[in-house]
Chains A and B, each alone.
Chain A
Amino acid sequence: MVYSEKVIDHYKNPRNVGSLPKDAPDVGTGVVGAPECGDVMKLQIRVEDGVIVDARFKTFGCGSAIASSSLATEWLKGRTVEEAQQIRNVDIVEELALPPVKIHCSVLAEDAIKQALADFRRKQGEGPEAAAPEAGNGEEAER
C-alpha cells in the first residue's frame, strides 16, 4: 500500500487523540465499525452555543482509517453543528487522496461524525431518546 503524504502525516502526528467524558451533556459520541472488520472509530465532540469547541478520536484500523478520523476532528473544531452535518466522505477522500480500496475508511469517518452529532442532539432533547450510548456501542446511539 502506498500512502499519500497527508495520510502519513496524520498517521505519524495524529491530531486530537483522546477521549471526552461521554456522559457529559455537552459531549456527543459516535462509535462505528467493528473489530472483526478491522476498523473501529470513536469520535467525540464538545459543543458550546451550537459550536464544536473540541473534537477527539481514537481509532483501531489501518493508516487511512486513522488519518480519516484525525482529519475529521480537525474539520469539526470551530464548526457549528449544522456545518458539521455537511461534512461528506468524498471530501475526506479528496483531501487525503485515498485510493478506492480505502474509501470505506472515509465512509466510516462520516458515519462517526453523524453519530456523534445525533448523540449530542439527543442529549439536548432534540432526539427521540435522551440516553447516552453504551460505552463503545455505536449502534445503540442510532436506535
Chain B
Amino acid sequence: MTEPTENRRVYMDHQATTPVDPRVLDAMLPYFTEKFGNAASRSHAWGWEAEKAVDDARQRLAAAIGAKPREIVFTSGSTESDNLAILGVARMYRERGRHLVTCATEHKAVLDPMKSLERDGFEVTVLGVDRRGRLDLDELRAALRDDTILVSVMHANNEIGTIHPIAEIGRICKEKGVLFHTDATQTLGKEPIDVEEMGVDLLSANAHKVYGPKGVGLLYRRRRRPRVRLEPLQYGGGHEFGLRSGTLDVPGIVGFAAAVDLALAERETERARIAALRDRLQERLTSALTHVHVNGDPEARLACNLNVSFEFVEGESLLMGLEGIAVSSGSACTSASLEPSYVLHALGVGDALAHSSIRFSLGRWNTEEEVDYVAERTIEAVQRLRELSPLYEMAMEGIDLESIQWDAH
C-alpha cells in the first residue's frame, strides 16, 4: 500500500468488457438529449430523426458482417441474442425436429437455453473438444440427424480464445440442411466475419466487447436461402420485424455502430499489435517461470487472449497478489459457483490446473510497458505464492502429486 507502484492500475480483462471509446461516446451523446425521440414515433421529426439514426446504424452493422440491414435485429446484448436464436428456432421448428447440437465450451448464454429446451422435450448433443478447444468436424457431421434443427458453435471462445472453423461448420450444416447459429461476441470487429462466406444463418454479437456501450447487441437472422423464422421471446409493439418488441435503445445502437466502424477501420493493424503484445506477455511469463501451461490453441487463437495455468498456485490468491491489475481466473473461488472453469474442464485440463488459471485479455489502450509491468508483477506473485505452496514443495522434492490420495472435502 505504501509503494506507489502498488496502486498502479492496469486493465487486462477486455474479454469481459471494454471501456467505451470516447469517439463512440461522442457519437452517442446527442441521442440522449436533443435527439431523444422514439424510433417508433412516426408522427414527428423527433421520431424520424431517431429512426434515421437506427436505420443508418443497422445498415453499417449489416455491412460489417456481410448481411442485409433487414437481417439485423437489435437486442439487449449477446445473452438475449443467443436465447432468441436458440429458443426462437426451437419453438418455431419444433414440428420439424427436436434435436440441437452445440459444443461443451460455449458460453452459458448458449448452454443454458439448450438445457431449458432439454427440460422441454428436446434432445441436445453437446460435442466435446480436444486439448486445444477444437471440435472434431467428423464428429459434428456424425451428430447431425434428420430431426436436427439447429447447430450452435461460437466463433471464438471467451476463456481460451480458440477460434472455430466457422466456414467449414457452415458448409457441413448447409449440406445437411440444418440451421447454423454462431455466437460471435468475441470476434466482431476483431476477426473477419462474413455471414455469406461462413454459411451462418444466425449470429449473435454485442457492443460492449468492442468499445461500445453495455446493454446493446444484435442478432443477425438470415432472410433468404433459407429464410429463418423465429418465435419471439417477448411480445408487444412489434418492433424489430416483430421479433423483439420494445422501444429501441437509440443511443446504444448508434454507439454500437460507431464502435464497430472504428474497430473495422483498424482491425488488421490492431490485431497485429495486440498479438505482438500478447506474445510478449506469454514469452515473459514462460521464460521466467517453470510449470506454466498455456491453455487453448497456440495457432487458432484470438490475438488478445492469453490463458495460462501457473501450476501449484491457486488462481484467486494470485489475483489478490495482482492488486490493481484486472485479469480473471478460471478458479472456482472467483465465481459464485464452487466449480472451476467448465471450459478448461472440457479441454481435459485437470481441476487442479483449472484452479491455477488466469486469463489475460489485451485491448486497445494496453502498451508494451504495461505488458512488461504486468509480467513482472505476475512473476513476483507466482514466485511468492509458490514459496507458500505445499504442492510446489512436494513437487520440488520429487513427489508425484498424482500419486497422492488427497483428502477431498
Interface residues of A (CB under 8 A from B): 1, 3, 8, 11, 14, 17, 19, 31-42, 58-63, 65-66, 101, 104, 107-108, 134-140, 142
Would you list 22 pairs from A and B whose C-beta atoms are within 8 A, ordered by A residue?
Answer: A8-B320, A11-B320, A17-B387, A31-B407, A32-B407, A33-B407, A33-B409, A35-B391, A36-B350, A37-B355, A40-B390, A42-B393, A58-B389, A59-B389, A59-B390, A60-B392, A62-B316, A62-B333, A101-B336, A136-B390, A137-B405, A142-B407
Decide: B409 and A35 in contact? CB cutoff 8 A.
no
Which B residues are CB-close (under 8 A) to A11? 317, 320-321
B189 beta carbon closer than 8 Å to chain A: no
How distant is A73 from chain B, measured CB to nearest CB, in Å?
Answer: 12
Interface pair A1/B404, CB less than 8 Å apart: no
Contact of A35 among B317, B338, B401 (CB under 8 A): B401
Contact of A62 among B314, B352, B388, B394 (CB under 8 A): B314
User: Which of B's residues lie within 8 Å of A, judged by CB?
Assistant: 312-317, 320-321, 331-334, 336, 338, 340, 350-352, 355, 387-394, 397, 399, 401, 404-409
Q: Which residues of B contact A139 (CB under 8 A)?
A: 405-407
Question: Are A108 and B409 in contact, with the CB atoms below 8 A?
Answer: yes
Residues of B within 8 A of A63 (CB): 316-317, 320
Q: Give the residue name and chain of the A residue nearest to B352 (CB).
A: A35
- Nearest-CB distance from B163 to chain A (Å)? 29
Whether A36 pairs with B408 at a CB distance below 8 angstroms is yes
Q: Which one, B352, B388, B399, contacts A36 given CB within 8 A?
A: B352
- Distance in Å: Cβ of B277 to nearest Cβ of chain A: 28
| Contact A19–B404 (Cβ < 8 Å) | no
Chain A nearest CB, measured from B219 CB (Å): 34
The reply to whether A34 and B355 form a contact with Cβ atoms under 8 Å apart is no
CB-defined contacts of A1 to chain B, threshold 8 Å: 316, 333-334
A34/B407 in contact, CB under 8 A: yes
**Given A31-B407, A59-B389, A137-B404, list of 14 further CB < 8 A pairs?**
A8-B320, A11-B320, A32-B409, A36-B350, A36-B352, A38-B352, A39-B409, A58-B390, A60-B390, A63-B320, A135-B397, A135-B399, A137-B406, A138-B406
- Closest CB-CB distance, B399 to chain A, in whole Å? 6
For B401, the chain A residues whose CB sits under 8 A away are 35, 136
Set of chain A residues within 8 Å of B321, measured between Cβ atoms: 11
CB-CB under 8 A from B320, the residues of chain A are 3, 8, 11, 62-63
Known: A1-B333, A60-B314. A36 touches B351 (CB 8 A): yes
Known: A38-B331, A62-B333. A136 touches B404 (CB 8 A): yes
Whether A61 lies near B406 (C-beta < 8 A) is no
CB of B392, distance to nearest CB on chain A (Å):
8
Indicate which residue in A31, A36, A38, A104 contacts B390 across the interface (CB closer than 8 Å): A31
Bound form: Cα–Cα A58–B333 in Å: 19
Q: With A35-B401, A135-B394 as given contacts, are A59 and B388 in contact (CB-CB < 8 Å)?
A: yes
Q: Which residues of B contact A138 (CB under 8 A)?
A: 406-407
Say whether A38 contacts B340, CB under 8 Å.
yes
How far apart sit A65 and B315, CA to CA, in the bound complex (Å)?
Answer: 12
In contact, A136 and B317 (Cβ under 8 angstroms): no
Q: Which of A41, A60, A134 has the most CB of B within 10 A?
A: A60
- Is A37 touching B388 in the complex (CB atoms < 8 A)? no
Q: Which residues of A contact B315 (CB under 8 A)?
A: 38
Question: B184: shortest Cβ distance to chain A, in Å?
Answer: 31
> When A38-B333, A40-B390 are in contact, do A62 and B404 touch as well, CB less than 8 Å?
no
**Is B387's CB under 8 angstroms from A61's CB?**
no
Residues of chain A within 8 A (CB-CB) of B355 are 35-38
Most buried by B among A35, A37, A135: A35
Smallest CB separation, A104 vs chain B (Å): 7
Q: Which single residue of chain A is at the shortest CB-CB distance from B333?
A: A62
Question: In the complex the two chains form, what is the Cα distance from A134 to B317 in whole Å?
Answer: 27
B408 contacts A37, CB within 8 Å? yes
Closest partner residue, chain B, to A63 (CB atom): B320
Query: Top 8 closest A-B pairs, CB basis?
Result: A34-B406, A35-B352, A36-B351, A42-B390, A62-B316, A38-B355, A58-B390, A34-B408
Q: Are B393 and A58 in contact (CB under 8 A)?
A: yes
User: Which chain A residues lie closer than 8 Å to B312 at the CB level?
Assistant: 60
Residue numbers in B under 8 Å from A41 (CB-CB): 390
Known: A1-B316, A36-B351, A63-B320. A136 touches B394 (CB 8 A): yes
Distance (whole angstroms) from the CB of B114 to the closest CB of chain A:
27
> Closest residue of chain A to B313, judged by CB?
A60
Which residues of chain B have C-beta atoms less than 8 A from A136's C-beta?
390, 394, 399, 401, 404
Write out the residue numbers on chain A whose beta carbons fall within 8 Å of the beta carbon of B314. 38-39, 60-62, 65
**A8: chain B residues within 8 A (beta carbon):** 320
Most buried by B among A40, A41, A63, A107: A40
Q: Which residue of B lies closest to A38 (CB)?
A: B355
CB proximity of B381 to chain A, nearest CB, Å: 11
Measured CB to CB, the nearest residue on chain B to A41 is: B390
Closest Cβ of chain A: how far from B7's Cβ, in Å?
14
